[in-house]
Each structure stands twice: as structure tokens, then as C-alpha cells.
Amino acid sequence: MEIFMGIALATFIFIAKFISMASSATPPVTFVFGDSLTEVGNNNFLQYSLAKSNYPWYGIDYASGQATGRFTNGRTIGDIISAKLGISSPPPYLSLSPNDDALLEGVNYASGGAGILNDTGLYFIERLSFDDQIQNFNKTKEAIKSKIGEQAAVKLCNEALYFIGIGSNDYVNNFLQPFLADGQQYTHDEFVGLLTSTFREQLLRLYQLGARKMVIHGVGPLGCIPSQRVKSKKGQCLKRVNQWVLEFNSKVQKLISSLNKKLPKSSILFADSYPAVYDLITNPTEYDTSIGGLCLPNSKPCSNRRDYVFWDAFHPSDAANAVLADRLFSTLFSAPPSLAPTPHSD
């Protein structure tokens, strides 16, 4: 009970500050960290990266109708939430010059293939791990200091919003790959311990750099994504994979509770995306979508893209992202989230 009381207190504090910022005349500054679910084009600037989406038919339903580096047919969840906040979606870090004025308004550091662990997604050759992204944020802070002075830079970083969605690739492109070392070297208990201890140090580093208001996106039901379901003879969700994800999410929740107690003025919120994604997959008709197929980028795109939960074997469609963004936004701005949700069982 003590753990969830800590989560509740942090949640109420965070939501109050979040609402205050949203209603402020000054648009909120947002910094985004993560993987392909939140990337907006960083990997396009990595010459040798194999984790890119800058080809048809990605972006077909984006405003420009062109591929932008987003791993979906349209918008990411971050794009949609930014629009709801009345701000532009932060640009990719690698698209900006070191002294660009846009750094003062928010940056997206996310990179397809990225993970909490530095060896996650190794076979993509180039990608920005979470450690790399934090280092790039450090460079951003130094650039901001040179522009507006140290005191103003500290204030900007303390008041900014930090959206962090990482961890999926540590499973899909690491632990679940039989030819990689981690899946053979560690039991899952050992692996999840390594993940959470590494994640703890990374969040502490962000805090030391000025991050105070953080939203940590939980990992969704990876056992239900098409690349995993194809391993089932009947195309069903993989129960063991989903259970591993639930264990990881639970560890992260406890980690967040601990950090909120330890770190002065920290407001860290766990956004549990698992139930929403699982519900969208298992009850698609409730959202006017289906899960009957995939819109693969190397084939002719289907005309009814709004009817599908997944765009490719790993990533949600624009329509699914819209549903999930609405859920997250209402959690942050309308009512306190469920403090101890009971995960769906498969």
C-alpha cells in the first residue's frame, strides 16, 4: 500500500503541474526520448542505420503525404499529444544545428531500434541508444545555456515535460532474438533486473541534467504484435512474452515510486499503455478498427488503413495511435490514472 500511496501522491502533483502548464500562456517545452514508436526522423541522418522508414508507404497519411522517418502511415502518439497541447511536434535532434533556436522549444531524440541497453538493436548498425539520447540532451542543455544563460537554462529544463518511451526493443530486438547473447546468457529474472537497474541510472542522469516532470510510457503487450503472433500456430498472442512485459512494467512502477520519494521536486508518472493497447487489439470493434491484416510497406497499401490496428509487423497505425493518444491525454488532464491496474490475462 505504501508504494501505491507514493504513486498516487506523485500522480496528483504531476497532473496539477501538467494542467497548470497546459493552461499557461507560455507553450510547454517538451523533450521526447524513445524508439521507433516515437521517432520523427533521427535515423534518417544516420548514414549506415538499417532502422529507417524513409520509403513508401510510410507517411502516406501524414500531413505531407510523404515519409518523414516516422514508423507509421501517419502520426505518432507524440504528434497527436503535441497538437492537443497546441504546440508543434518537436523536431528530430539530428535535424538541428548545434545552436538552433528551435532547441529552446523542445527536441525529439527518439531513434528506431533504440533500447535501454546499449547492445539492443546492434544489428541495425547505427541507432541512438537511450544513453546516446541522454548525452544528446546534455549537449542541448549546454547549447541552451550558451543562448540564455545558466540560470534561465536550469529553469527551462526544470519546467519542461519529458516523454520517455523505451524498452520494447530490449525484448523484440534483443532478449527474444535467439541468436543474440542476452537471451542465452540471462534468465528473464536476471534480464529484467539488468533492464531496471540500467534504467534507474539513466533516469537519475536525466534528473541530474534538470528533468523533473517525466512521463514514462510502459511497454505494451509485445506478445500480441504481428511479428510475435506469427510464431503462434493459431496466430494468437504469446502469453509468456506478455507476462515478461507485465513483470518489467511492474518493476518500472516500483522504480518510479522509489525515485519520486528520493528525488526532491521530482514528478514522475508511469503511463501504463499495456491495458489500452491490449484492449484495442482484442476488442478492435469498440474503436472502429480491426486487426485482420497488415499494411506492409513493401506492398500495395490497403485503402482502408483506418480499419487496422497495425501498420506493419511492429508499429501501430495512425488510427490506433489516435485512440491511444486520446487515452493518454485524458489520463493526464481529466482524471488520475488507475494507480494499480490489474493487467489483462491472456
User: What residues are annotated to the active site?
Assistant: 36, 312, 315
Mapping DSSP onto H, E and C, the string for 180-196 reads CHHHHHCCHHHHHHHHH
E-assigned strand segments in 141-222: 161-165, 213-217
What DSSP character marks residue 110? Answer: -
Find all residues with CB under 8 Å of 237, minimum gap 6, and list them.
Answer: 221, 223, 224, 228, 229, 281, 346
CA 245, distance to chain mean position in Å, is: 15
Yes or no: say if 61 and 74 are a contact pair by the CB < 8 Å rule: yes
d(CA 42, CA 31) in angstroms, rounded, equals 14
What DSSP character marks residue 61? Answer: T
Question: Which helix (H) or strand (E) segment is 33 a member of?
Answer: strand 30-34
